[in-house]
Structure 1
């Protein structure tokens, strides 16, 4: 059957996505750029490994999203639209593929990634992915504090500074 293939997808560092847009400034082009990177990139990656997983009746797919996938933030509108779509797809894939022995999960990054930053340390984040891979007992893992981000959005009236998030 060949070597075992499992997959983790993150669009981080995969090229330019164009500007991050606020809700009222979001255009078809700004959403398309984010959607192509975040969602279509993941669909492509999954499409490459899923046939092997289905054939053996086992596998793990871990997809990465950002905090705007779960908490609406007007200053991250186009990113949030794409991330929410990716998160939704992960949940629907999980529901469809779990009976076939394939675990799908999503890791939501709700903080800056900082060496030595506790749960935001790259090694700690890697350990969370590995835990999901090994345990296969949950669909979603959140790294960071959703309440802190929600508070930022509320405190700034949705006018937060994307560079400061």
Structure 2
């Protein structure tokens, strides 16, 4: 049974990914700082649960020691702090960079070590609109997501010729959730539909790999 590791698991997109991958025959592992919230999803999907701070190198290394043979690794954490540049708290900005970018590097590093040895694997990094366009009063999130996108492009150029697929997914729009209703039904991104796109990336033949995919609802301006 192939394995899939989702880092930064929770409600919404990562939950949809866990359900879809479980249905497709993957043994799913869920990692997050707060694991209590994952119990219902784990019971539903048969997934294992792992406590991990994605920005802590030792914890990420330990996670991959136990789940390092995963054929699919998804990096999904993000952290944002908003405000005028002149008033931002440096500690909060640093945390945003650590979670959005540095944690992505740690995950890619550990995954690449194992996937290169195996000769195959897929690493998917969840980006955002902020990774291609920086918004006012959102500099920390833009910095982190721009860095994650740069990591993905660099890693793809290095690892694709060695058999490891790396892709960055730009989530350009709001995601529908139980607290974020969508009166128009399709004016927000459906997390199940996003998960289907992730699976398509996993299944891409290596003679037609994508390194980046943009996903947005049809009404989103870009």
- Normalised TM-score (structure 1): 0.76
| 8 Å contact from structure 1 (residues 110, 146) kept in 2 | no
Change (3 A) 1:146 1:107: farther
What SS does the corresponding residue of 1:74 show, helix, strand or coil?
Answer: coil
Indicate which of 99, 103, 107 corresponds to 1:41: 103
Is 1:9 matched up with 2:75?
yes
Query: How far has the Cα of 1:110 moved from its partner?
Result: 1.1
Q: CA deviation at 1:37?
A: 0.7
Q: 2:122·2:165 contact (CA, 8 Å) conserved in 1?
A: yes
Corresponding residue number in structure 2 for 1:157? none
**1:127 is aligned to 2:193:** no
- The separation in 2 between residues aligned to 1:134 and 1:104, in whole angstroms, is 12
User: Which of 82, 86, 93 is the matching residue for 1:31?
Assistant: 93
1:64 aligns with 2:164: no
- Choose which of 13, 37, 55 in structure 1 pairs with 2:117: 55
Question: Which secondary structure does the structure 2 equivalent of 1:91 belong to?
Answer: helix
Instruction: State the Cα deviation string for residues 70-125 of structure 1 (Å, max 9, x = none).
Output: 01211221100110001011000001111101111001111111155377101100
Where structure 2 has 5 or more consecutive residues not aligned to the other structure, the ranges are 1-67, 178-184
Please identify, of 23-32 and 100-109, the stretch whose mean Cα deviation from structure 2 is larger.
23-32
Question: Whose helix fraction is larger, Structure 1's or Structure 2's?
Answer: 1
**Distance in 1 (alpha carbons) for counterparts of 2:175 and 2:80:** 21
Q: Distance in 1 between matches of 2:76 and 2:196?
A: 15
SS in 2 for 1:53: helix
Q: Does 1:110 align with 2:172?
A: yes
Instruction: Give the aligned partner of residue 213 of structure 2.
Output: 141
Structure 1 spans left out of the alignment, 5+ residues: 151-165
Distance 1:57 1:48, change over 3 A: same
Q: TM-score, normalised by structure 2?
A: 0.58
